[in-house]
A and B are shown apart, each in its own frame.
Chain A
Amino acid sequence: MKKITTRTLAPLLLSACLAQMGTAQASIAYVSNEKDDSLSLIDLDSLEVIETIDVGQRPRGITFSKDFSKLYICASDDDTVQIMDTTTHQIIGELPSGEDPEQFSLHPDNRRLYISNEDDALVTVVDAQDATVLAQIDVGVEPEGMAVSPRGDLAINTSETTSMLHWIDTETHELIHNTRVEQRPRHVEFNQDGSRFWASSEIGGTVAVIDVDSKEIIKTLRFEIKGVHPDKVQPVGVKLTDDGKYAFVALGPANHVAVVDAQSFEVLDYLLVGRRVWHMEFDSKQQLLLTTNGISGDVSVIDVDDLKVTKSIKVGRYPWGVAVKP
């Protein structure tokens, strides 16, 4: 038998390494295009769109299962939540979401999906594994934002017309509290340990920071951008860094993302992005923040360390939601 030497092994090892490098997958951002009924896939290394996939009608909120094997898509005009296999990019099933699903949030148990039904003033809780409705909870008019605490014991829903945050006990599926906030609350985001959450009010132009234990608003943030009419400052999406350093607030038609010190609540900067910025998502290392800009039909990329907008990438018409697969 031929003797295996370092000389014969070296090229093998090298080619194995190269093959490994070649197959290494970059993070991919999935962006739902509301008016194109499609998803745009952005390679986060090259920052280019690598694929566009047709999905159900009017895709808005999107989120991954905890193992990133499935992508849940709110196909609002199809009144369903589609399940996409993230390997084959085929739609492999649908969930009974109730009418006009817009935003949703997956419970840490990776099964329960809390879905806002905008037209029915309901929150539908669906078991994502066996596609059954576990509960339907009456909330205010035009429910929109939805978030489940990382602790798993609490879900918060926002109702746009009632201007309220509805606190839902995830064990009993009952409303346990309501918090009045400024007009048209759109989005809720918990911090890393679930002790606080941030809720944006689009028409009110504010973001309320709420303490979970006391159920009190501890801070109401306001935004003022030089040269931009206050009416255009309409906060929607909120994202918080895991290290508790920054909060990013998408300011809608003001075309800016506010950078807020998450400890002192001081607004540090306003970053210019595309037109009508709504939702945002970090890459897995939280080095990049992606924003969906509905009217300009692109996704802006923010360098989180430098707090600079580095690029805007053209996607489909009216990009709405964004989720990142590591």
Chain B
Amino acid sequence: MRAPDAASRNDGACSSMTRRQAVFAGFGGFCLCCLPRTLRAESFAMEEVGPGIFQRRGPNAEATAENNDAIANIGFIIGRDGVLVTESGGSLADGQWLRAEIRKRTDKPVRHVVMSHVHPDHCFGAAAFSADKPNYIGHHALREALEARGEYYRKRLEDVLGPEKTGTVVYPTQGVKDGAEIDLGDRRLRFTAHATAHTPCDLSMIDSASGLLFTGDLLSVGRIPSLDGSLNGWLKEIERLKGTGATQAVPGHGPVRVALAPALAEIDRYLGTLRDETRKAIAADVSIEKAVRTVAQSERGKWDLFDDYNARNVTVAYKELEWE
């Protein structure tokens, strides 16, 4: 399953997995589950990226039975009055893992679980926290997006992971329109509900104690961004992120702490290239099936999973821009 994927794309899952496994097999019979221990530990370790802020880096891979869809950056913030989960994980199993990691470090109650957007690699860990009865916080449009796609995603994920590890669709209990704030006693989280960009329901937040910006998938570092909302909208929201005053960020994918400006410059360049070249293709009557092979090719080699997502991004961009 292509985790952060538009609803409609569900084909490549097993096949790309097979391709990947075949590649591993070619290098001495490794699949993801039997990678050398050190490699594995590296991709699943918790890192303290700021005071009381713990993050796990997700590998740049697709969901597989072996990785539990644990492919996004997830983690938590410990405040005076409790814990806030910054992203819940890609499956019930991933969320349960995160909950155990929290319990290794604090006994404070899990008060809030952030759901940064509708994609399964960011949402399906939420069910692991239901016993904590947390405040599930998301963009005001997240509920509608989950109503439309949640069950669909769950079935696709279940095909890969099986029902026990997948879990159920959890809906936000707090929907953010424009902005919101959560006070953990010694630190505040300021939330921004974005206009349609990566998806129609992107939520970002800034932690007052560290100044860190948690971007969700509005920012992806190293892993190719996947377009599932609006290309023009995303480019606008990137401008908005530049104006937040934050200098350091926790992106949805990639290293768990990065300098914001250069990381935004990278994604800005990719999305700008995607927009400009798609517009050019449309103006020159280049068909959509040709455009997927020609647009943004200069970006190959700059992103992991380029060949898995770029053509798909061009399709979404073309669909949006041809009506300009």
Instruction: Tell whether A pairs with B.
Output: no
Interface set of A (CB-CB < 8 Å, partner B): none
